[in-house]
């Protein structure tokens, strides 16, 4: 294997709110890439950091009655502290308020300006303060920003612009001739389709009259640079551009990792900025999808913003890392729920991996007192007993998937080996072999193969679960060459590394099973302790979807109980000139005589349904209040059949 220098980056995160699950994922995904590359004998450099200038930060600081710098210091600290907590092994943490970074941004701006790719012009446009950018009409949805659902403000001002269109053909050509530039493929397609439209020039400044919290333009004291021109440059300023040693070693062998939200700045602005500044283009961009939580986009208003610290404290770090990396198909969105997390912990970690490990080591202690036996010659070539081919297959499949960030496939390859070994134990039945002295040599061969197989498993899980890998290696009594904490892939491959006569330790429990019943109560208690339970809110719908529901005022004409049902009442209601029968589950709260003459709200266009043999032509609305149903109505009398909006 040849050693290469490889540079990995996360986006630098905005400091307008504390880190959540999404930020933790990208940092862990890049950590996995970096650790895997170390196993491939590459020399790596891993950069992450915080993006600290711009309107958003000023606004967040104002809300807390503090200065932007003090606010940025406070939130950046949270991002920095999260890294060791998640076992993220970054080599550097950059802040865009670092003086060295500021110098490089000004240097790049000056060279692009000198080249004539930046010009000054007056501009009027629709500006979204949330996104900190101007919008074209065609990008708006019903006149509103698609991300913030707010109407942009009309702003007229003179600004500096970066000419991008002249580089458009070059970029299209670069993307097409470098199929690994954007991964996975669907995002390459997305970018190329965006590049079919002429590229508009990018506004790269803000007048200081409107924003002072930014880097001053080197060619105009009255302006600061717009956030992207500042933020993207972090990737080279962190390496000491233009002549730092790290820059010489690691640029441009770079893979940037981002989620799909910032593919345009990374896939379009950044390569064009580099090209214009005469700097080599980075090697590639890896784009992942979004984590939703319980099926919805994380948002403060829904109350589902997930704190990675809370999840880790409750379920353990390696379990959390494993879940994130196994569950998300890199490139697609994934859904985070505690139920999914618990089920993966119980099945993949406690059952498959944990059981395999404790079964093998317990048998090793039971039958061989924890000493590695030697393998008799007659069994060295016994294909039925030899697990080496399966281990080799797993390593190869793992390497080819991990190299392209298909993490879920890489892990599946390891779990195939684990399942194979669990089946192998059942077929070889060491407990039967142990009963007969004549089978001692075969039992030893089975044991050696199992120990060797689990050695490979321990090595391969290192990027995803470094702590578990360490514990497994220690238990197996392995000493990793050069005092490293991982085996390279080349070191892992050779079969028969557990020297005969060496000792293993008795196994502990790698992953305790989570009792789902207990976990539920425990979960409720933790949630209550941390934050009050919020009312559950379902997925958002558009106004068009809502307008499909025909809600009407209605008056109850008569009501009676439904035979054999303690819950249902049969109501005859008047909806305008129409009479309808509706079955409502309110018998426990309302008696029939309470209801006659009452005005209610009915969903009038619901497909008729049969309940206990009775037809229901609509549904009456009621609130669920502590398991008690309370009918929704009006605070004054209204005409029946009126639409309710």
Site residues (vs ligand MSP, CB under 6 A): 11-14, 22-23, 25-26, 51, 231-232, 234, 258-259, 261-262, 290-291, 298
Note the residue count of the chain.
645
256 is catalytic: no
Residue 555 backbone dihedrals phi, psi, to 5 degrees: -120, 135
Give the H/E segment covering residue 631: strand 628-631
20 is catalytic: yes
SS (H, E, C) 171-209: HHHHHHHCCCCEECHHHHHHHHHHCCCCCCCEECEEECC
Nearest distance, CB of residue 267 and ligand MSP, angstroms: 12
Nearest distance, CB of residue 608 and ligand MSP, angstroms: 41
Residue 78 backbone dihedrals phi, psi, to 5 degrees: -65, -40
Angle between helices 355-368 and 440-460 (to 10 degrees): 140
Nearest distance, CB of residue 234 and ligand MSP, angstroms: 6
300 is catalytic: yes
Nearest distance, CB of residue 108 and ligand MSP, angstroms: 13
Nearer to ligand MSP, 14 or 486 (CB): 14
Cβ neighbours for 516, distance < 8 A, ≥ 6 positions apart: 342, 346
Cβ neighbours for 488, distance < 8 A, ≥ 6 positions apart: 1, 38, 39, 40, 41
Residue corresponding to tokens 């979960």: 523
From the number of C-beta atoms within 10 Å of its C-beta (0-12, 13-18, 19+), residue 463 rates as buried
Nearest distance, CB of residue 260 and ligand MSP, angstroms: 8
Could you tell me whether strands 43-51 and 92-95 are parallel, antiparallel, or unpaired per DSSP bridges? parallel
Nearer to ligand MSP, 26 or 44 (CB): 26
Angle between helices 21-39 and 308-315 (to 10 degrees): 70
297 is catalytic: yes
Nearest distance, CB of residue 16 and ligand MSP, angstroms: 8
The active-site residue out of 5, 18, 103, 131 is: 131
365 is catalytic: no
The active-site residue out of 196, 300, 517, 518 is: 300
SS3 state at 487: coil
CA 568 to chain centre: 45
DSSP string, 571-603: EEEEETTEEEEEEES-TTT--HHHHTT-EEEEE
Nearer to ligand MSP, 15 or 443 (CB): 15
Nearer to ligand MSP, 334 or 600 (CB): 334
The active-site residue out of 145, 203, 256, 275 is: 145
Nearer to ligand MSP, 226 or 511 (CB): 226
Nearer to ligand MSP, 169 or 539 (CB): 539
Strand order through the sheet with 118-128: 133-135, 118-128, 153-162, 202-203
State the Cα–Cα distance between residues 512 and 543, nearest whole angstrom.
47
Nearer to ligand MSP, 164 or 232 (CB): 232
Q: Where are the alpha helices (DSSP H) in 461-515?
A: 466-475, 489-492
148 is catalytic: yes
Give the H/E segment covering residue 312: helix 308-315
Nearer to ligand MSP, 37 or 48 (CB): 48
Nearest distance, CB of residue 144 and ligand MSP, angstroms: 20
Residue 454, preceding bond cis, omega within 30 degrees? no
The active-site residue out of 163, 264, 297, 365 is: 297
364 is catalytic: no
Residue 343 backbone dihedrals phi, psi, to 5 degrees: -70, -35
Residue 361 backbone dihedrals phi, psi, to 5 degrees: -70, -35
Nearest distance, CB of residue 81 and ligand MSP, angstroms: 16
- Using CB positions, name the residue nearest to ligand MSP: 22
State the Cα–Cα distance between residues 226 and 148, nearest whole angstrom.
19
**Structure-block tokens of residue 90:** 């970054």
Nearer to ligand MSP, 83 or 582 (CB): 83
The active-site residue out of 148, 176, 185, 588 is: 148
Nearest distance, CB of residue 23 and ligand MSP, angstroms: 5
Nearer to ligand MSP, 320 or 511 (CB): 320
The active-site residue out of 126, 128, 203, 405 is: 128
Residue corresponding to tokens 């979807």: 545
**What CA–CA distances, in Å, run from 377 to 245, 367, 444, 494, 633?**
53, 20, 12, 17, 86
Active site residue ranges: 20, 23, 128, 131, 145, 148, 297, 300
């Amino acid at each position: 294997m040849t050693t290469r220098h490889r540079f990995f980056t996360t986006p630098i995160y905005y400091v307008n709110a504390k880190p959540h699950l999404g930020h933790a994922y990208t940092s862990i995904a890049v950590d996995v890439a970096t650790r895997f590359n170390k196993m491939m004998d590459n020399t790596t450099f891993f950069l992450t950091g915080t993006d600290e200038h711009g309107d958003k930060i000023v606004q967040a600081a104002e809300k807390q009655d503090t200065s932007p710098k003090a606010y940025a210091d406070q939130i950046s600290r949270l991002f920095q502290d999260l890294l060791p907590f998640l076992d993220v092994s970054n080599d550097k943490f950059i802040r865009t308020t670092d003086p060295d970074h500021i110098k490089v941004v000004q240097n790049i701006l000056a060279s692009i300006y000198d080249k004539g790719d930046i010009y000054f012009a007056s501009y009027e446009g629709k500006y979204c303060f949330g996104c900190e950018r101007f919008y074209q009409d065609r990008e708006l949805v019903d006149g509103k920003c698609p991300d913030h659902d707010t109407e942009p403000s009309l702003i007229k001002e003179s600004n500096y612009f970066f000419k991008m269109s002249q580089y458009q053909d070059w970029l299209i050509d670069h993307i097409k001739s470098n199929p690994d530039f954007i991964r996975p493929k669907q995002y390459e397609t997305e970018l190329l389709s965006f590049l079919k439209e002429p590229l508009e020039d990018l506004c790269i400044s803000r007048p200081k009259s409107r924003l002072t919290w930014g880097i001053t333009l080197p060619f105009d004291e009255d302006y600061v640079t717009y956030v992207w021109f500042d933020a993207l440059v972090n990737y080279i300023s962190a390496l000491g551009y233009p002549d730092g040693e790290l820059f010489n070693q690691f640029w441009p062998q770079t893979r940037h990792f981002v989620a799909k939200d910032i593919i345009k700045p990374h896939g379009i602005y950044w390569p064009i900025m580099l090209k214009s500044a005469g700097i080599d283009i980075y090697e590639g961009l890896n784009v992942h999808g979004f984590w939703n939580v319980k099926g919805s986009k994380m948002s403060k208003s829904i109350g589902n913003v997930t704190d990675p610290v809370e999840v880790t404290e409750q379920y353990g770090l390696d379990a959390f890392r494993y879940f994130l990396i196994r569950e998300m198909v890199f490139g697609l969105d994934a859904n985070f729920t505690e139920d999914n997390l618990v089920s993966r912990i119980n099945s993949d970690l406690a059952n498959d991996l944990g059981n395999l490990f404790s079964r093998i080591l317990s048998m090793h202690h039971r039958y061989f007192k924890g000493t590695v036996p030697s393998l008799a010659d007659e069994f060295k070539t016994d294909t039925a007993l030899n697990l080496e081919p399966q281990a080799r297959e797993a390593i190869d499949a793992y390497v080819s998937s991990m190299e392209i960030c298909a993490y879920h496939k890489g892990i599946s390859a390891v779990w195939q080996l684990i399942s194979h070994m669990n089946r192998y134990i059942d077929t070889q039945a060491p407990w039967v072999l142990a009963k007969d002295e004549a089978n001692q040599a075969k039992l030893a061969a089975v044991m050696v193969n199992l120990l060797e197989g689990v050695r490979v498993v321990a090595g391969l899980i290192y990027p995803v679960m470094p702590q578990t890998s360490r514990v497994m290696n220690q238990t197996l009594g392995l000493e990793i060459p050069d005092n490293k904490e991982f085996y390279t892939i080349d070191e892992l491959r050779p079969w028969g590394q557990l020297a005969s006569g060496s000792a293993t330790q008795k196994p502990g429990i790698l992953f305790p099973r989570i009792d789902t019943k207990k976990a539920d109560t425990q979960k409720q208690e933790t949630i209550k302790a941390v934050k009050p339970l919020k009312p559950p809110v379902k997925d958002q719908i558009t106004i068009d979807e809502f307008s499909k529901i025909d809600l009407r005022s209605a008056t109850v004409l008569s009501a009676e109980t439904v035979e054999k049902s303690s819950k249902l009442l049969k109501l005859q209601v008047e909806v305008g000139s129409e009479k309808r029968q509706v079955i409502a589950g309110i018998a426990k709260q309302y008696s029939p005589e309470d209801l006659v003459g009452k005005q209610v709200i009915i969903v009038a266009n619901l497909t008729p349904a049969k309940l206990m043999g009775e037809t229901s032509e609509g549904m009456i609305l009621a609130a669920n209040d502590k398991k008690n149903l309370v009918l929704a109505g009006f605070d004054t009398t209204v005409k029946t059949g009126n639409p309710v909006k």
